[in-house]
A and B are shown apart, each in its own frame.
Chain A
Amino acid sequence: MADEKHESKTITRRDFIKKTGYVTGGVVGGGVLGGLLGSEVWNTTTDPEVAPEELQQHDQALQYFKSRADFQVLSSATERIFPADELGPGAIELGVPYYIDHQLAGRWGINDREYRQGPFYKGEPNQGYQTHLKHHEIFDLGIEALEKYSQSTFNERFAELEGKQQDEVLMAFDNDEVDMSVISSSLFFELLRTMTFEGVYADPLYGGNKDMQGWKMKEYPGVQMSYTEEIESEDFVEMDPVSLHKRFNT
């Protein structure tokens, strides 16, 4: 499959229908096609040969974190949770730290659409998230605590520790052995862990899963419009993954 970036974005209506398989179902209402075909992408022309600007990762800058040091702590921690190995890239190469940075700067960071009224009580674990702190505040405290715990345990900055030592630190957070006073360290760790996996496997449009490498490792085909032909297959069907970017722009 050709690299998405080098494919022409100009396309005819007929090509679109052919490529997407949108009408294979037969009774697709005009609504779906109308909505897509009517969008501005139909007038976009990009020179497929020269697009050097696109090759730069303009989204790899900080929206939320202010210091490189904090971002480094976050990056090293995510890499231990999802490390690079012979199977493929780890969290850093996949862009996971940027994914988390962007999420913290956005709606998830401020717990948008979650119930935020007090009073706040600790509660039982099966009653769920009960802190007055928002996600972004938990990450601030968590990164501060990671740094502090590393200094007091190994007399070294977290990002400078050996991988094994970093694992020990993270394990202590995971096992609630670190005093973070207002929240349990495991709450921070669980959010960090969850956000790391999101960054590995969410659609690349969010800044992680770079070049769909998370999906490729998992042999996950991404956004396919129909499996009617393959659903009964006895054999495992290998497919090049497709992202929403491609779906939207072709």
Chain B
Amino acid sequence: MVTKLPKTDVVTVGVGWTGGIIAAECSKAGLEVVGLERGRNRETQDFAMKHDELRYALRYENGQDLSRQTLTFRNNSGQRALPMRKFGSFLLGEGVGGAGTHWNGLTDRYSPYDFEIRSKTIEKYGESKIADGLNLQDWGITYEEIEPYYVKFEKMAGISADETPLRGERSEPFPNPAMKSTPAMDLFIETTKNMGLDPFVMPAANNSQNYQNPDGQRIGACQYNGFCERFGCEYGAKASPNITVIPTAEATGNFELRPNSEVIEVLHDGEKATGVLYIDTRTGERFEQPAEVVALTSYTFNNNRLLLASELGTPYNPETQRGTIGKNYCYQVIVGTDGFFDDQKFNVAMGSGGLAATLDNFNADNFDHTDHDFLHGGSILMGQYAKRPIANNQVPPGTPRWGSDFKKQSIKYFNRSINIYTYGACLPHANNYLDLDPTYKDIHGYPLLRMTFDYSDTDRKRGHFLNEQTKKIMQEMGATHVSDNESMEHYDITEYKATHNTGGVIMGEDPETSAVNSYLQMWEADNVFVVGGSAYPHQSGYNATATLGALAYRASEGIIDYSKDGGSLV
């Protein structure tokens, strides 16, 4: 039995950053918005006991309930995909605010090079520079065009930073000054300056001071007590949808937040969506929510899975390389170096999720690639994120993994080791894609999403190059011992790297090669907007959140325009 509800102007599937931004902007413009979120509601007071590494960081209190739904994974199409039964490589969120509640707060813009990566690469190096199998595509939007939306996101979230050398031009300064720097960050900054590089303090959503955003929402000043990534902020000092865009939407009177509402299908007639089908996860009741506009604002994986399960859009076929849904799945190349300092202790337990020094000299096309057999690069960071004791037992190479010597060394180096690492770009390969798993089902009987992904040779070469840079910097910083370079042989879903999964419903100029236009409006169903990291044609060498925030502001504009005139926005 399905209960049919009254029609709304806009329904969002998921209420995290993208759903929250769309809810805020559309409801301010007078549209009626319903936000469906499969998890429960959460507020700042729910994080009073969050200084608990075991419960939040290792038992994933804020994570998706994998017993209900997960995805399957294999490195290549010759393997059998198996379910991700436990969390490892990335942290899927659940609940109001989504992953925007438990993120760290590192906030980058992508480079001007990224948005026109194919054109600019060919222009500078010729088409032969693009390795076989790489589906490098322009985004259908330029940096100049997306820049005002970055500004909107940064002001809404109170991003704290001073200057960002080697990044795209800014039309306005950051709304808050940079966060405080620590001795470890200072050492990184000083050392890399001496190496001729251009370090700076990372833009962060952990606000450096009390702040009121243009919507009137207040964000507190960061207390540097750590517990950011995987945790919510008990001070309301880390920008999250819960304390910014969601209350803004609610204040309009035009937004209805419905937690515990799990969308299982997008209903459509082949050309337009008519609404969504969802289940109240507490009562088991099924509802149809008709809507003029359906905005898929879930995480990358669920945006893909819902489209595929609802048979909306043309699935990507890796054999023919035709079709778009599931195409260009990308991740991130993360490598790094631990440095062990025999004669120096750092206050590693202090810090904040967005507190880092970084540099872009080896990112994007900021360095000449003529003599390199890869494209793009990555940002290099020295983070002061507040180390927690269960997860941090770094020991110099050669130390046993347990026992007496391990105990001594892991205790000795807890406050004497720091890490430099990269967010390396990951470029789309024809063999990496998302589709539906033929075997495994979610709790409702719908197929799980299947991820087929491995690093391509160009990713491995980029990773190796970046790892050499992190090692060199760490040595220059005076570490007594440094860790060995990381293996890039095969992607491993069991070790945490980053919650930066992108692609599958990518944006572009051409309906043949992309699923959505630059307003994230689906080419094949013009009242469906698919918003999030799913729209990225490739993964850049930066943190992923600001770009999806900017795109969500642009999509909101598109939805508002579409509601007036209908039709394709481009």
B60 partner residues in chain A, CB cutoff 8 A: 113
Q: How far is the CA of A221 from the CA of B401 in the complex (A)?
A: 24
Which of the residues A36, A125, A219 comes within 8 Å of B48, measured between beta carbons? A36
Nearest-CB residue, chain A, relative to B64:
A113
CB pair B51–A223 under 8 Å, yes or no, is yes
Write the A194-235 contact mask toward B (1 if CB under 8 angstroms, else 0): 001110111101100000001101111111111110111110
Q: Does A108 contact B (CB under 8 A)?
A: yes
B51 partner residues in chain A, CB cutoff 8 A: 203, 222-223, 244, 247
Minimum Cβ distance to chain A for residue B469 (Å): 25
CB pair A27–B221 under 8 Å, yes or no, is yes
Within 8 A of B (CB), among A167-199: 167, 170, 174, 193, 196-198
| A to B contact number (C-beta, < 8 Å) | 197
CB pair B53–A202 under 8 Å, yes or no, is yes
CB pair A228–B347 under 8 Å, yes or no, is no
Q: Does A80 contact B (CB under 8 A)?
A: yes
Which of the residues A34, A130, A170, A226 comes within 8 Å of B223, measured between beta carbons? A226
Q: Sort chain B's interface into a size bin.
A: 35 or more
Write the B169-188 contact mask toward A (1 if CB under 8 angstroms, else 0): 00000000000111100000
Within 8 A of A (CB), among B125-151: none
Binds A, one of B109-117, B231-239, B504-512, B523-531: B231-239
CB pair B74–A127 under 8 Å, yes or no, is yes
Q: Does B41 contact A (CB under 8 A)?
A: no
CB pair A128–B86 under 8 Å, yes or no, is yes
Binds A, one of B75-83, B191-199, B267-275, B539-547: B75-83
CB pair A127–B347 under 8 Å, yes or no, is no
A248 partner residues in chain B, CB cutoff 8 A: 49
Q: Does B65 contact A (CB under 8 A)?
A: yes
Q: Does B351 contact A (CB under 8 A)?
A: yes
Write the B79-113 contact mask toward A (1 if CB under 8 angstroms, else 0): 11011111010000000000000000000000000
Q: Does B342 contact A (CB under 8 A)?
A: no
Q: Does A50 contact B (CB under 8 A)?
A: no
Nearest-CB residue, chain A, relative to B47:
A32
B440 partner residues in chain A, CB cutoff 8 A: 117
Q: Does B346 contact A (CB under 8 A)?
A: yes
Q: Taking A80-B403, A198-B54, A230-B350 as contacts, is the C-beta distance between A113 and B235 under 8 angstroms?
A: no
CB pair A27–B83 under 8 Å, yes or no, is no
Nearest-CB residue, chain A, relative to B390:
A201
Which of the residues A111, A115, A205, A234 comes within 8 Å of B183, measured between beta carbons? A234
Binds B, one of A7-15, A61-69, A81-89: A81-89
Q: How far is the CA of A215 from the CA of B411 in the complex (A)?
A: 10
Nearest-CB residue, chain B, relative to A234:
B183
B65 partner residues in chain A, CB cutoff 8 A: 113
CB pair A121–B82 under 8 Å, yes or no, is yes
CB pair B347–A233 under 8 Å, yes or no, is yes
A124 partner residues in chain B, CB cutoff 8 A: 75, 79
Q: How far is the CA of A121 from the CA of B88 in the complex (A)?
A: 19
Q: Does A123 contact B (CB under 8 A)?
A: yes
Interface size of A by CB at 8 A reads 74
A165 partner residues in chain B, CB cutoff 8 A: none
A170 partner residues in chain B, CB cutoff 8 A: 402
Q: Does A126 contact B (CB under 8 A)?
A: yes
Nearest-CB residue, chain B, relative to A78:
B402
CB pair B223–A126 under 8 Å, yes or no, is no
Q: Taking A27-B221, A121-B80 as contacts, is the C-beta distance between A113 and B347 under 8 angstroms?
A: no
Minimum Cβ distance to chain B for residue A27 (Å): 4
Q: Does B404 contact A (CB under 8 A)?
A: yes
Q: How far is the CA of A117 from the CA of B70 in the complex (A)?
A: 11
Q: Taking A87-B408, A244-B49 as contacts, is the C-beta distance between A116 and B85 under 8 angstroms?
A: yes
CB pair A220–B389 under 8 Å, yes or no, is yes
Nearest-CB residue, chain B, relative to A36:
B48
Minimum Cβ distance to chain A for residue B79 (Å): 7
Q: Does A28 contact B (CB under 8 A)?
A: yes
Q: Taking A29-B44, A202-B390, A206-B54 as contacts, is the C-beta distance between A127 and B82 under 8 angstroms?
A: yes
CB pair A117–B220 under 8 Å, yes or no, is no
B490 partner residues in chain A, CB cutoff 8 A: 126
Q: How far is the CA of A201 from the CA of B390 in the complex (A)?
A: 5
Which of the residues A25, A28, A203, A222 comes within 8 Å of B54, measured between beta carbons? A203
B492 partner residues in chain A, CB cutoff 8 A: 125-126
Minimum Cβ distance to chain B for residue A207 (Å): 11
Which of the residues A112, A128, A193, A219 comes within 8 Å of B494, measured between beta carbons? A128
A selection of 22 A-B contacts at a CB cut-off of 8 Å is: A25-B210, A25-B237, A32-B234, A35-B48, A83-B404, A114-B66, A114-B86, A115-B70, A116-B85, A124-B79, A126-B490, A126-B491, A127-B74, A127-B494, A129-B85, A170-B402, A219-B415, A225-B223, A228-B223, A230-B350, A231-B347, A233-B347
Top 4 nearest A-B pairs by Cβ distance? Answer: A31-B45, A126-B492, A35-B45, A201-B389
Further contacts, 20 of them, CB under 8 A, given A201-B53, A203-B52, A244-B52: A27-B221, A32-B44, A36-B48, A81-B403, A82-B407, A113-B66, A116-B85, A126-B490, A128-B82, A130-B83, A174-B402, A201-B390, A214-B389, A227-B224, A227-B351, A228-B224, A231-B180, A231-B347, A232-B180, A236-B345
